[in-house]
């Protein structure tokens, strides 16, 4: 069986409507400033499509209030060259766009890396790129497109960092330290205990390696996917963690663990 896999196909508007309906908002939530310029996110998506950036993943924050759901924060990830094939384990650059129409977010562009082996998307915010913010005013469409190209141009620097991480070996004690630090990004250590040996245990055979980059991906997946058992110290109950689905929390954890691995890289080198 070939180890090549076809890149994720573009999401059409029907699918985007189903998973993130606020992309198609007809107006901003009431109460916005007179300076607030409303442009539906689908208009930005279509402009990026014209530039060769295609949406491959989307999500939006949930709300019990139906009116808020129409304007809530949403995330769309884009790729170029969606027809290309990749081998398992390959790294694919992406751009993450976050926006809302309720005043809680500007247009926010992040650099993202998609690892085919486990379908997890690591959002990185490095010193050379940082997150690019576009206000809801002025020429929004052109500014988002310009920011997207800036991120693409800086992507090789991210890949260089990843190669450095692959060259750094961790022993078991170092992996446990890394795991404890990663767990504290999500769970309060005064309330929850998380076994570091469970955190660093690979989910798949291909990840049985000792380099810093592989350890990062294992921990990132454990933090987000809900495949980790956590012990509540107060109730003395053990339960399976819930997967992270909130747009803000996913972005926060991805960036935080990237910053953590950067510190690990400095210590090792």
The per-residue pLDDT for range 234-261, each reduced to its tens digit, is 999 999 999 888 888 888 888 899 889 9
| Beta carbons within 10 angstroms of residue 262's beta carbon | 16
Place of tokens 């996917």: 225
| Beta carbons within 10 angstroms of residue 62's beta carbon | 11
| Beta carbons within 10 angstroms of residue 235's beta carbon | 9
Rounded Cα distance between 264 and 269, Å, is 9
| pTM of the predicted protein model | 0.77
Angle subtended by helix axes 247-268 and 140-166, to nearest 10:
40
Q: Are the C-beta atoms of 211 and 165 separated by less than 8 Å?
A: yes
pLDDT at 127: 46
Rounded Cα distance between 18 and 14, Å, is 6
Rounded Cα distance between 201 and 219, Å, is 9
Q: Are the C-beta atoms of 224 and 250 separated by less than 8 Å?
A: yes
pLDDT at 126: 47
What's the rounded mean pLDDT across residues 128-135?
66
């Amino acid at each position: 069986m070939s180890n090549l896999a076809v890149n994720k196909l573009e999401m059409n508007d029907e699918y985007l409507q189903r998973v993130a309906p606020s992309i198609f908002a007809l107006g901003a939530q009431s109460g916005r400033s007179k300076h607030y310029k409303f442009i539906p996110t689908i208009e930005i998506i279509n402009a990026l499509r014209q530039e060769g950036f295609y949406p491959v993943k989307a999500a939006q924050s949930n709300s019990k209030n139906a009116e808020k759901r129409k304007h809530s924060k949403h995330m769309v990830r884009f790729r170029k060259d969606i027809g290309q094939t990749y081998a398992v384990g390959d790294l694919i650059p992406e751009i993450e766009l976050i926006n809302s129409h309720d005043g809680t977010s500007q247009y926010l562009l992040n650099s993202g890396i998609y690892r085919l082996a486990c379908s997890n998307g690591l959002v990185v915010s490095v010193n050379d790129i940082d997150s690019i913010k576009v206000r809801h005013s002025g020429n929004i469409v052109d500014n988002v497109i310009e920011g997207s190209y800036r991120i693409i141009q800086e992507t090789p620097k991210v890949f260089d960092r990843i190669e450095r991480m692959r060259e750094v070996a961790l022993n078991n004690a170092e992996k446990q330290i890394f795991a404890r630090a990663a767990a504290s990004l999500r769970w309060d250590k005064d309330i929850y205990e998380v076994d570091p040996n469970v955190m660093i245990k690979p989910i798949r055979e291909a990840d049985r390696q000792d380099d810093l980059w592989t350890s990062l991906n294992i921990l990132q997946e454990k933090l987000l996917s809900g495949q980790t058992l956590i012990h509540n110290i107060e109730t003395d109950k053990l339960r399976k963690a819930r997967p992270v689905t909130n747009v803000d929390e996913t972005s926060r954890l991805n960036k935080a663990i990237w910053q953590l691995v950067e510190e690990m890289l400095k210590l090792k080198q």
